[in-house]
Amino acid sequence: MQVLVFGETGQVATALKRLAPGYAFLSRAEADLTNPSACANAILARAPDAVINAAAWTNVDAAEADEPAATVVNADAPAAMARACAALGIPFVTISTDYVFDGSGDTPWAPDAPTAPLNAYGRSKLAGETAVRAAGGQAAILRTSWVFSADGTNFVKTMLRLSESRDALSIVADQIGGPTPAAAIANAAIRIVQALHGGHPGGTWHIAGHPFVSWADFARRIFDLAGRSVTVTPIPSADYPTPAPRPLNSRLDCASLLSDFGLAQPDWMAALRADVKRLTQ
Protein backbone atom coordinates (compact mmCIF):
# COMPACT_ATOMS: atom_id res chain seq x y z
CA MET A 1 0.00 0.00 0.00
CA GLN A 2 1.38 3.38 -1.04
CA VAL A 3 0.72 5.91 1.71
CA LEU A 4 1.39 9.62 1.29
CA VAL A 5 2.15 11.60 4.47
CA PHE A 6 1.88 15.36 4.84
CA GLY A 7 4.62 16.37 7.26
CA GLU A 8 8.24 15.37 7.47
CA THR A 9 9.89 16.84 10.54
CA GLY A 10 7.11 17.00 13.14
CA GLN A 11 6.92 14.59 16.06
CA VAL A 12 4.31 12.25 14.58
CA ALA A 13 5.79 12.37 11.08
CA THR A 14 9.24 11.54 12.47
CA ALA A 15 7.76 8.58 14.35
CA LEU A 16 5.97 7.46 11.18
CA LYS A 17 9.29 7.50 9.33
CA ARG A 18 10.70 5.04 11.84
CA LEU A 19 7.65 2.77 11.90
CA ALA A 20 6.78 2.94 8.20
CA PRO A 21 9.88 3.91 6.21
CA GLY A 22 8.16 2.83 2.99
CA TYR A 23 5.66 5.66 3.23
CA ALA A 24 6.23 8.80 1.12
CA PHE A 25 6.70 12.00 3.13
CA LEU A 26 6.07 15.49 1.83
CA SER A 27 8.16 18.39 3.10
CA ARG A 28 6.80 21.91 3.41
CA ALA A 29 8.61 22.80 0.18
CA GLU A 30 6.71 20.02 -1.60
CA ALA A 31 3.32 20.72 -0.03
CA ASP A 32 2.88 23.92 1.97
CA LEU A 33 -0.28 23.82 4.08
CA THR A 34 -0.68 27.57 3.63
CA ASN A 35 -1.61 26.66 0.04
CA PRO A 36 -4.52 24.17 0.28
CA SER A 37 -4.82 23.80 -3.49
CA ALA A 38 -1.20 22.69 -3.70
CA CYS A 39 -1.90 20.04 -1.07
CA ALA A 40 -4.84 18.70 -3.06
CA ASN A 41 -2.82 18.73 -6.27
CA ALA A 42 -0.01 16.80 -4.59
CA ILE A 43 -2.48 14.02 -3.79
CA LEU A 44 -4.10 14.01 -7.22
CA ALA A 45 -0.71 13.96 -8.98
CA ARG A 46 0.65 11.05 -6.94
CA ALA A 47 -2.62 9.06 -6.66
CA PRO A 48 -1.54 7.07 -3.56
CA ASP A 49 -3.55 4.32 -1.88
CA ALA A 50 -4.09 6.43 1.26
CA VAL A 51 -3.11 9.75 2.85
CA ILE A 52 -2.14 10.70 6.41
CA ASN A 53 -2.03 14.35 7.43
CA ALA A 54 0.58 14.65 10.18
CA ALA A 55 1.24 18.36 9.59
CA ALA A 56 -0.46 21.26 11.35
CA TRP A 57 -0.16 24.69 12.91
CA THR A 58 0.65 23.67 16.49
CA ASN A 59 1.72 26.98 18.09
CA VAL A 60 -1.33 27.57 20.27
CA ASP A 61 -0.50 31.11 21.39
CA ALA A 62 0.56 32.20 17.90
CA ALA A 63 -2.82 31.00 16.60
CA GLU A 64 -4.48 33.40 19.03
CA ALA A 65 -2.63 36.25 17.34
CA ASP A 66 -3.40 35.11 13.76
CA GLU A 67 -6.48 32.90 13.71
CA PRO A 68 -7.10 33.28 9.93
CA ALA A 69 -3.63 31.91 9.13
CA ALA A 70 -4.03 29.05 11.60
CA THR A 71 -7.40 28.23 10.07
CA VAL A 72 -5.92 27.95 6.59
CA VAL A 73 -3.37 25.42 7.83
CA ASN A 74 -5.58 23.49 10.25
CA ALA A 75 -8.91 23.63 8.42
CA ASP A 76 -8.65 24.67 4.78
CA ALA A 77 -5.66 22.45 3.97
CA PRO A 78 -7.09 19.24 5.52
CA ALA A 79 -10.40 20.01 3.81
CA ALA A 80 -8.64 20.21 0.43
CA MET A 81 -6.79 16.96 1.17
CA ALA A 82 -10.02 15.22 2.18
CA ARG A 83 -11.80 16.33 -0.98
CA ALA A 84 -8.92 15.11 -3.14
CA CYS A 85 -8.95 11.75 -1.36
CA ALA A 86 -12.72 11.50 -1.77
CA ALA A 87 -12.34 12.20 -5.49
CA LEU A 88 -9.82 9.36 -5.76
CA GLY A 89 -11.82 7.06 -3.51
CA ILE A 90 -8.92 6.58 -1.07
CA PRO A 91 -8.73 6.76 2.77
CA PHE A 92 -7.68 9.91 4.59
CA VAL A 93 -6.44 10.10 8.21
CA THR A 94 -5.84 13.42 9.98
CA ILE A 95 -4.62 14.25 13.48
CA SER A 96 -6.70 16.54 15.71
CA THR A 97 -6.65 17.65 19.33
CA ASP A 98 -8.28 17.64 22.76
CA TYR A 99 -8.48 21.43 22.41
CA VAL A 100 -11.76 21.06 20.50
CA PHE A 101 -13.34 20.60 23.97
CA ASP A 102 -13.89 23.29 26.62
CA GLY A 103 -12.10 21.39 29.39
CA SER A 104 -14.96 21.45 31.87
CA GLY A 105 -15.55 18.77 34.49
CA ASP A 106 -13.25 15.82 35.11
CA THR A 107 -14.80 13.09 32.94
CA PRO A 108 -12.73 11.90 29.96
CA TRP A 109 -14.10 13.29 26.71
CA ALA A 110 -15.71 10.71 24.41
CA PRO A 111 -15.31 11.10 20.64
CA ASP A 112 -18.96 12.13 20.31
CA ALA A 113 -18.93 14.60 23.23
CA PRO A 114 -20.06 18.18 22.47
CA THR A 115 -17.23 20.39 21.24
CA ALA A 116 -16.66 23.97 22.40
CA PRO A 117 -13.05 25.13 21.93
CA LEU A 118 -11.69 27.84 24.20
CA ASN A 119 -9.08 29.27 21.83
CA ALA A 120 -8.25 29.99 18.20
CA TYR A 121 -6.14 26.87 17.82
CA GLY A 122 -9.02 24.68 18.99
CA ARG A 123 -11.45 26.49 16.71
CA SER A 124 -9.14 26.01 13.72
CA LYS A 125 -8.79 22.28 14.42
CA LEU A 126 -12.54 21.86 14.92
CA ALA A 127 -13.18 23.65 11.63
CA GLY A 128 -10.81 21.16 10.02
CA GLU A 129 -12.69 18.21 11.50
CA THR A 130 -16.02 19.58 10.25
CA ALA A 131 -14.66 20.16 6.76
CA VAL A 132 -13.04 16.71 6.55
CA ARG A 133 -16.35 15.05 7.46
CA ALA A 134 -18.19 17.23 4.95
CA ALA A 135 -15.87 16.09 2.15
CA GLY A 136 -17.82 12.86 2.06
CA GLY A 137 -14.93 10.46 1.69
CA GLN A 138 -13.58 7.61 3.78
CA ALA A 139 -11.91 9.62 6.52
CA ALA A 140 -10.68 9.16 10.06
CA ILE A 141 -10.01 11.85 12.65
CA LEU A 142 -7.59 10.89 15.42
CA ARG A 143 -7.65 13.30 18.36
CA THR A 144 -4.75 13.34 20.79
CA SER A 145 -3.21 15.41 23.59
CA TRP A 146 0.08 16.50 25.13
CA VAL A 147 2.29 14.94 22.45
CA PHE A 148 5.90 14.25 23.37
CA SER A 149 8.96 12.50 21.95
CA ALA A 150 12.71 12.92 21.78
CA ASP A 151 12.18 14.88 18.56
CA GLY A 152 10.69 18.26 17.74
CA THR A 153 9.50 20.79 20.31
CA ASN A 154 7.55 19.64 23.35
CA PHE A 155 7.14 19.90 27.12
CA VAL A 156 9.67 17.17 27.90
CA LYS A 157 12.47 18.87 25.99
CA THR A 158 11.55 22.25 27.46
CA MET A 159 11.70 20.89 31.02
CA LEU A 160 15.06 19.24 30.41
CA ARG A 161 16.43 22.45 28.94
CA LEU A 162 15.20 24.53 31.88
CA SER A 163 16.61 22.02 34.38
CA GLU A 164 20.10 22.74 33.09
CA SER A 165 20.01 26.22 34.61
CA ARG A 166 17.16 26.17 37.14
CA ASP A 167 16.72 24.26 40.39
CA ALA A 168 13.14 25.39 41.02
CA LEU A 169 10.15 25.85 38.71
CA SER A 170 6.50 26.80 39.15
CA ILE A 171 4.31 24.62 36.94
CA VAL A 172 0.57 24.49 36.34
CA ALA A 173 -1.17 21.78 38.33
CA ASP A 174 -4.89 22.24 37.54
CA GLN A 175 -4.67 21.13 33.89
CA ILE A 176 -5.04 17.35 33.72
CA GLY A 177 -4.47 15.16 30.67
CA GLY A 178 -2.73 12.20 29.16
CA PRO A 179 0.80 12.77 27.83
CA THR A 180 0.93 10.89 24.54
CA PRO A 181 4.04 9.37 22.93
CA ALA A 182 4.32 10.42 19.28
CA ALA A 183 5.18 6.83 18.38
CA ALA A 184 1.84 5.65 19.77
CA ILE A 185 -0.02 8.17 17.63
CA ALA A 186 1.95 7.09 14.57
CA ASN A 187 1.20 3.44 15.28
CA ALA A 188 -2.51 4.20 15.64
CA ALA A 189 -2.52 6.16 12.36
CA ILE A 190 -0.92 3.19 10.60
CA ARG A 191 -3.45 0.76 12.07
CA ILE A 192 -6.38 3.01 11.15
CA VAL A 193 -5.22 3.65 7.59
CA GLN A 194 -4.85 -0.11 7.11
CA ALA A 195 -8.37 -0.65 8.42
CA LEU A 196 -9.78 2.03 6.14
CA HIS A 197 -7.94 0.54 3.19
CA GLY A 198 -9.58 -2.75 4.12
CA GLY A 199 -13.05 -1.20 3.97
CA HIS A 200 -13.64 0.42 7.39
CA PRO A 201 -15.94 3.43 6.87
CA GLY A 202 -13.96 5.81 9.08
CA GLY A 203 -14.93 7.95 12.06
CA THR A 204 -13.42 9.78 15.03
CA TRP A 205 -11.18 8.23 17.70
CA HIS A 206 -9.10 9.36 20.65
CA ILE A 207 -5.60 8.37 21.70
CA ALA A 208 -3.96 9.65 24.88
CA GLY A 209 -1.43 8.32 27.31
CA HIS A 210 -2.30 6.75 30.65
CA PRO A 211 -2.43 7.46 33.55
CA PHE A 212 -3.82 10.98 33.51
CA VAL A 213 -1.59 13.53 35.21
CA SER A 214 -1.08 17.26 35.77
CA TRP A 215 1.65 19.24 34.06
CA ALA A 216 3.35 19.66 37.44
CA ASP A 217 3.41 15.92 38.15
CA PHE A 218 4.51 15.21 34.59
CA ALA A 219 7.44 17.58 35.10
CA ARG A 220 8.37 15.87 38.38
CA ARG A 221 8.53 12.53 36.57
CA ILE A 222 10.74 14.01 33.86
CA PHE A 223 13.18 15.38 36.42
CA ASP A 224 13.20 12.12 38.38
CA LEU A 225 14.06 10.10 35.27
CA ALA A 226 16.73 12.59 34.24
CA GLY A 227 18.27 12.63 37.71
CA ARG A 228 17.79 16.40 37.90
CA SER A 229 17.22 18.04 41.29
CA VAL A 230 14.47 20.53 40.52
CA THR A 231 11.82 21.64 43.00
CA VAL A 232 8.40 21.87 41.35
CA THR A 233 5.90 24.29 42.89
CA PRO A 234 2.34 23.57 41.70
CA ILE A 235 0.37 26.66 40.64
CA PRO A 236 -3.10 27.30 39.15
CA SER A 237 -3.47 28.27 35.51
CA ALA A 238 -4.52 31.74 36.65
CA ASP A 239 -0.99 32.30 37.94
CA TYR A 240 0.52 31.48 34.55
CA PRO A 241 -1.52 33.50 32.03
CA THR A 242 -1.05 32.76 28.34
CA PRO A 243 -2.49 34.48 25.24
CA ALA A 244 -4.62 31.39 24.56
CA PRO A 245 -6.64 29.87 27.42
CA ARG A 246 -6.03 26.17 27.96
CA PRO A 247 -8.64 23.54 28.91
CA LEU A 248 -8.36 22.26 32.47
CA ASN A 249 -9.70 18.82 31.60
CA SER A 250 -7.82 17.26 28.69
CA ARG A 251 -8.65 13.66 29.61
CA LEU A 252 -9.69 11.67 26.53
CA ASP A 253 -11.85 8.55 26.49
CA CYS A 254 -9.94 6.08 24.31
CA ALA A 255 -12.24 3.06 24.72
CA SER A 256 -13.33 2.95 21.07
CA LEU A 257 -9.72 2.82 19.86
CA LEU A 258 -9.33 -0.37 21.90
CA SER A 259 -12.64 -1.91 20.84
CA ASP A 260 -12.29 -1.02 17.15
CA PHE A 261 -8.55 -1.51 16.59
CA GLY A 262 -7.23 -3.37 19.63
CA LEU A 263 -5.10 -0.40 20.68
CA ALA A 264 -4.92 0.26 24.42
CA GLN A 265 -3.94 3.60 25.89
CA PRO A 266 -0.15 3.87 25.75
CA ASP A 267 1.89 3.87 28.96
CA TRP A 268 3.46 7.32 28.81
CA MET A 269 5.80 6.56 31.69
CA ALA A 270 7.56 3.78 29.78
CA ALA A 271 7.87 5.94 26.67
CA LEU A 272 9.10 8.89 28.71
CA ARG A 273 11.81 6.77 30.29
CA ALA A 274 13.17 5.86 26.85
CA ASP A 275 12.95 9.43 25.54
CA VAL A 276 14.66 10.96 28.57
CA LYS A 277 17.43 8.39 28.32
CA ARG A 278 17.93 9.27 24.66
CA LEU A 279 17.93 13.00 25.37
CA THR A 280 20.31 12.93 28.33
CA GLN A 281 22.97 10.47 27.19
* Tally of CB atoms within 10 A around 47: 11
- Active site residue ranges: 121
Whether residue 236 is preceded by a cis peptide bond, meaning omega within 30 degrees of 0, is: no
- d(C-alpha 85, C-alpha 81), whole Å: 6
* Tally of CB atoms within 10 A around 101: 24
Q: Which of 131, 180, 120, 141 is nearest to 53 (CA)?
A: 141
- d(C-alpha 50, C-alpha 152), whole Å: 25
Strands 180-181 vs 231-235: parallel, antiparallel or unpaired: unpaired
Are the beta carbons of 119 and 60 closer than 8 angstroms?
yes
- 112-137 burial, b for 16+ CB within 10 Å, e for fewer? eeebebbbbbbbbbbbbbebbbebeb
Angstrom distances, CA of residue 112 to CA of 93, 115, 256: 18, 8, 11
Are the beta carbons of 110 and 253 closer than 8 angstroms?
yes
Q: Which of 88, 80, 117 is nearest to 245 (CA)?
A: 117
Alpha carbon 243 to its chain centroid, in Å, reads: 20
Instruction: Give start and end residues of each alpha helix (H) in 166-205.
Output: 182-197
